[in-house]
Amino acid sequence: MTAATTSRPSETPIYATPFGVWAIVALWGLSHLLLRALNTPVLGTDDMFENVLVQTLQPGYMLRQPPLYEWLLWSAQQVFGPTIWAALSVKYGLISIAALFLFLIARKAISDPRLAALCAFSYSLYYQFGWNLHEGVTHTVVLTTACAASAFFFIKALETGRLGFYLAFGAVAGAGLLGKHSYPIFALALLIAAVSDPVWRKKIRLIGVLLVPIAAVLVYSPYAYWILSEGLKLLSSVSQTMGVTAQTSHVMRAGEGLGKLAFGLLGFSVPLLPVLLLLFWPRYLGRVSPAIPAVNDVARLCGRTVLAMVVLTALMIAATGATYVKERHMHPLMLLLPIFLFADLERFEFHKQWRWLAAVILAVIATAFVARVPGMFAPDKFWCGGKCRHMKPYADLTQPLQDLGASSATLIADNGYTGGNLRVLFPQARIVTKAIPAKSDPRDKCFFIWEEGDREPNTPANERYSRVTFGEATEPVAATYLSGAWPHLWKELGWRTTWWGVAELDRADPLCH
């Protein structure tokens, strides 16, 4: 596969077509979905929080994150219920769409469709895509999809000059704004990349650019209304989250944020960049000459967008002193980098290196799948790390809580993990956590449920319990303790047990409202 071997459409293999790339990524997502959902219904990181949040459909939920993910999750739950099936179907469905758009961009930057497909599949070599995606990530999946789609429509608008593509870009930009607040940096980076390039600058239509914010505002308007009517009350929580209200000096915070940005970019790139450096080292050491002098216009635009994203992010950190900068925030910064790198490498006469890269990608994909299996059947520290939250035996609470009358009651949970998984067990219940007040009406019965941990409470069943952990140190109430036995393929039942406390509150208690 080289720049000189451009396949004719009739010779293009199915895996290198838009449908083929989408189908392969969708099947990859389906395999992980089935592995997870068929073995454990427990909601893990981020998903549990969202499950409490979307008990009702709202124009906005929090100022820290826009609501598009919640809208999609609520819609999926109308089909699958408040379960892991709904969360994973949204996640992998969006990723398959993102892969399709990334492939369509790659086809414009890379002449060989097989290399373009390999480029789309190479995103599995980003740790945040190939591994961390499966147990975490919610709004970032929406952001990734919006960035990929908006880059494609922006390129189409520049190529064709059609106002319809500018409107499509604007609509997707509105979706990006509804996905995550950081999206405008990506849209601005695209524009800067085009304006800075003479070839693309002369293709920009001013009237089209003016249409973009109009379409974006129309899509964004429901959430904008919510911000003006309710969301501004939560403004202080955003500044605390971003780390811009710390007592340290601005210079110190900016330095910390820029350091985290550098480490985040390096961490996000692993193992993709090391693999490319190892396989294609002659290109990077100047040992081979290119068959084509430079990358094409689309590839160059992708490269400039990545550079603009990094610079803009660094400038924002320097200006605001933000310190909440993590590797899992780097998706929009690094999204178009593989396309630029593959387009650059295609210019050189490499043959076997591409086959080696395909083998590495397949090996990493297979390893990531197989590595998740032991943690489903042997959830101990050796196989799935310290907490193994995805296997916590919440299901053992079902019958005891039903006997207490909790099925349609108000259930106040001490943390998001407990609350999100209680909603899996009791879809008709009203779930409340300290961070998420319920929007629905109070119920006739009300219970406070908290996790005690893996050590059996050294108290009788009728011990009096104070609700200090919920921030309400009021009169103690009677408590009942329930336990759940962790599963394990070869260890005896009871090898690990987690305990929960349950206290019934008076329905007139302020906590129940």
d(CA 112, CA 459): 69
pLDDT tens digits, 34-53: 999 999 999 988 899 999 99
Q: What does the pLDDT read at residue 327? A: 83
Q: What does the pLDDT read at residue 474? A: 54
Global confidence as pTM? 0.91
The answer to whether 142 and 67 have CB atoms below 8 angstroms apart is no
Mapping DSSP onto H, E and C, the string for 464-499 reads EECHHHHCCCCCCEECEEEEEECCCCCCCCCCCEEE
- Of 7, 3, 2, the closest CA to residue 113 belongs to 7
pLDDT tens digits, 376-417: 999 988 888 767 889 999 999 999 999 999 999 999 998 889
Least confident interval from 21-35, 119-133, 431-445, 482-496:
431-445
Cβ within 8 Å of residue 399, ≥6 positions away: none
Read off the pLDDT band of 33 (50, 70, 90). very high
**Residue bearing tokens 């590839």:** 299
Q: What does the pLDDT read at residue 6? A: 42
CA distances from 486 to 43, 391, 450 (A): 15, 7, 18
The answer to whether 178 and 219 have CB atoms below 8 angstroms apart is yes
Domain range summary for the chain, segments of one domain joined by +? 15-371, 392-512
Q: Which residues make beta-bridge pairs with 505?
A: 446
pLDDT tens digits, 427-478: 999 999 988 888 888 899 999 999 988 888 876 554 555 554 555 545 667 7
Q: Is the pLDDT of residue 307 over 50?
A: yes
Cα angle vertex 384, ends 39, 89, to 5°? 40
pLDDT tens digits, 471-489: 554 566 778 899 999 999 9
**Residue bearing tokens 């990334």:** 102
pLDDT tens digits, 65-113: 999 999 999 999 999 999 999 999 999 999 999 999 999 999 999 999 9
